[in-house]
Structure 1
Amino acid sequence: MEPTATLPSTKAEIVKKAKAYITTLFEEKLSKQLVYHNLDHTVNTVREARALGQDAGLSEDDQEALVLAAWFHDAGYTEAYDGHEYRSMALAEQWLQEQHYPTDRTALVVDTIRATHRDEPRTTELQRLLVDADMSNTGREDFAARAELLRAEWELSQGRTFSSVGWAESQLDFLMSFKFLTSVAKNRYKEQLKENIKEQRKLLKKTEKKRKEKDKARTETFAEPKRGIETMFRTMYGNHMKLSDMADKKANMMISLNAVLISVIITYLGTKVGGKTAVLSPAITHNPVLSIPMGILLLTSLGSVVSAILSAQPDVTSFKWLKKSPEIATNRRVNLLFFGNFTKLNLDDFQGGMRELMRQKDSLYTNMVTDVYYLGEVLSRKYRLLRISYTIFMVGLILTALSFGIVLLYKL
């Protein structure tokens, strides 16, 4: 007996087998990150392809080829994302050959799948029907939900992120420019496509409104100040006043300490002999080398007390270019809330400037910001001089102790 040739599957069987093969393939190999191009999308495409094929009056053979192409059109996603259409063609061809599907019909299925690539021509009716079925979500009620799945897939698998407004704009542009390729698809989806465009416009307006509200809440304007802004200014003014008070106390401490040291040193160096003040005390006269540590301590104490006095003395921020002129009241660099500036104005101009300041909240906060800035400048000068005073005092003590130690060693 001659071996019996393997017969190709019947038409009903080949479609069932394709469904089972794709279902298993996606369950085993498709990445979980592909939440849009998954089995659900393929099932929808198959359903829409079958409906479009019936509306177009396809023959039984062509209907079968279209449905098979729909089952395999995204199979390539199991191996690659970009260019998956060509991998889908290869997988379909290999599987159909294993099923002993007719060669010419296999070539037709593979060629139909090719059209789903954006750069490939769509010349045959089957190709255009498959592309319309693949893009049928644009004319279905679940467009918005499916679009969000596509956005999530791109973010997860491709690292492409979109703002809510940007995504809504891109989807509206896509719907506005999209056109179905076949008349049966236009008739089937045109009404829902129009509704989707309207809904997308509404969604875009709603999304933009939410974004503007968030931006407004995040960057509240000076024209509508919040309690937080006023609290911020109160805190800043309070901190500046505390820091200034601390600086003045530290400066007074250094002035008092160094003044005492200078008085003691001068008293020690100048003593009375026979009712007259001598130039040098007997201790220095008998031990002239002691004049070195005493001189170091005297000089450093003098430098420290001078720096402390400069730090503690009142400092009023003023501008040499300021002259008594009404224009001062509108100058952004001038602070009408500070006496060092507004005393350059006569009473009428000052009153006019203050009334204008109270009417315009932007100008009011500008003056407060200016005041804080110049307070900071004064504080910076105070602490810089105070640091110099403490540094001189510390270095003076160290040098005095070292030189006194050297003197002791020298005398021994």
Structure 2
Amino acid sequence: METIETMKPAKAEILKKAKSYVTALFEEKLPRQLVYHSLKHTAAVVKEAKALGEASQLGDADLEALVLAAWFHDTGYTEVYDGHEYRSMEMAQQWLTEQGYPADRIAVIKDVIRATHRDEAAETELQELMVDADMSSMGREDFFSNAELLRAEWETMLGKCYSNTEWAETQLNFLLAAKFHTDAAKDRYKDQFKDNIKQQRKLLKKTEKKVKKKEEESTGTFAEPKRGIETMFRTMYSNHMKLSDMADKKANMMISLNAVLMSVIITYAGAKMGKTAALGSLFAKNPILGVPMGILLVTALGSVVTAILCAQPDVTSFKWLKRSPQIATNRRVNLLFFGNFSKLSLDDFQHGMTEIMREKDALYTNMVTDIYYLGDVLTRKYRLLRISYTIFMVGLILTALSFGIAMLYKA
């Protein structure tokens, strides 16, 4: 009687030690990418293995072996992914040997873990119970949430990428082909297992409908456009308008600034011609000052001319040929821009707009063409604006240098 009482606490102690060891091992070494084969999964398998073992009325020794195998069955994941079961067997043997566990029982536990490998057959009752506990998720309510975790894990660890439809088909095929080995598992999971299959079928149909709807939207007319395309065109048009407005403001600033400079310089030049004026007397005494003033006048003139060209309205146009057959789909014609359609007759314009409203490709072509010509105008504006700023900058530098040289010459 004393022997039996001392054995039970010993069994409980080895299970507690195994739990502590595996928990610490997973927290320290299990890769974070393993979102499905985590400590939570192992704890769930241990719980199900214990429940199935008790339902099967296993003896204490076999129940203990089953629970220990459940704790260690995924420990190999800390070192290797594919074939982790065999590494789990080695790790279980090493730890149990250190605990002084009987060698014959260690061999039983290793055989139970081996059965969880996809290529190994479950032959004994313990092996079947272990496999059922490991696959118990397909008969539980958390099947679908666990399936998404497994999908994320496979994408990260194995590089397997599935579309929603492919994944739904994979899961349904898995459920239809799967089965529980023991009567205890069949009784425990049968109702939820059937319900999961039913829900997976519904999910697959729902996913297929979504895919079909997306395909119809992508091949439909532009009267029902994809939101992403609308957003793209809206953003591009907005950016082009902002850039054009910015270029015009910068050009107007250069026109105003250089106009003021030219007015001042011309005033000085007039003063130079008027010998009786004070400024004229100054230029008469220091004629070399006319050099920096002349440089500033010339560069200001060049800068203001290029700025005016930049701000000058520019309308892109094309040479319309009567023999051109398709107006709306002609890549050279932009019916959305007045510079193009104003060269057409009213009948041709109406015909072209009707084609655009009827055909998606025609509208795409015209919108892309419109953006292209807007970009062409912007390219010219910013090129002239850059030239204007460059001339102005060079003029200021040369004026400052020539003025400094004049001062040195005077000295």
The two structures have a TM-score, normalised by structure 2, of: 0.68
> Would you say the 8 A contact 2:335–2:341 is kept in 1?
yes
- The match for 1:399 is 398
- The match for 1:275 is none
- The match for 1:260 is 263
In terms of mean alpha carbon deviation, does 345-354 or 72-81 score higher? 72-81
> Would you say the 8 A contact 1:50–1:66 is kept in 2?
no
SS in 2 for 1:329: coil
> What is the distance in 1 between the residues matched to 2:297 and 2:325?
52
SS in 1 for 2:39: coil
Matched, 1:21 2:14: yes
> What is the distance in 1 between the residues matched to 2:127 and 2:301?
96
**1:88-140 CA-partner distances (Å, limit 9, x unpaired):** 34445565x55xx6x65x26523532423416743742454234433451563
Instruction: Quote the RMSD (CA, aligned, Å).
Output: 5.0
- The match for 1:196 is 196
> What is the distance in 2 between the residues matched to 1:331 and 1:262?
53
**CA positional deviation for 1:389:** 1.7
> What is the distance in 1 between the residues matched to 2:335 and 2:145?
60
- The match for 1:85 is 89
> Would you say the 8 A contact 1:168–1:204 is kept in 2?
yes
Matched, 1:75 2:71: yes
SS in 2 for 1:382: helix
In terms of mean alpha carbon deviation, does 14-23 or 340-349 score higher? 14-23
**1:156-193 CA-partner distances (Å, limit 9, x unpaired):** x9899988937655543433443555788679867764
Distance 1:42 1:214, change over 3 A: farther
Distance 1:180 1:77, change over 3 A: closer
**1:291-318 CA-partner distances (Å, limit 9, x unpaired):** 5324423432332233223223332223
Residue identity in the other structure for 1:304: S
> Would you say the 8 A contact 1:19–1:71 is kept in 2?
no
**CA positional deviation for 1:286:** 8.0
> What is the distance in 1 between the residues matched to 2:95 and 2:167?
33
Residue identity in the other structure for 1:84: S
> Would you say the 8 A contact 1:308–1:389 is kept in 2?
yes
Matched, 1:35 2:40: yes
**CA positional deviation for 1:394:** 3.3
**CA positional deviation for 1:42:** 1.1
Matched, 1:358 2:357: yes
In terms of mean alpha carbon deviation, does 163-172 or 106-115 score higher? 163-172
Any stretches of 5+ residues in structure 1 without a counterpart? 1-6, 55-59, 273-280
**CA positional deviation for 1:364:** 4.2
Distance 1:47 1:162, change over 3 A: farther
Distance 1:284 1:241, change over 3 A: closer
Any stretches of 5+ residues in structure 2 without a counterpart? 28-37, 78-83
Matched, 1:367 2:363: no
**1:56-112 CA-partner distances (Å, limit 9, x unpaired):** xxxx8xx555423211113336965342233234445565x55xx6x65x2652353
Residue identity in the other structure for 2:303: S
Distance 1:317 1:348, change over 3 A: same
SS in 2 for 1:74: helix
> What is the distance in 2 between the residues matched to 1:47 and 1:314?
83
Residue identity in the other structure for 2:72: G
Residue identity in the other structure for 1:34: L
Distance 1:208 1:19, change over 3 A: farther
**CA positional deviation for 1:365:** 6.1
> Would you say the 8 A contact 2:292–2:399 is kept in 1?
yes
SS in 2 for 1:317: coil
- The match for 1:323 is 321
> What is the distance in 2 between the residues matched to 1:307 and 1:373?
23
| Percent identity for Structure 1 against Structure 2 | 41
The two structures have a TM-score, normalised by structure 1, of: 0.68
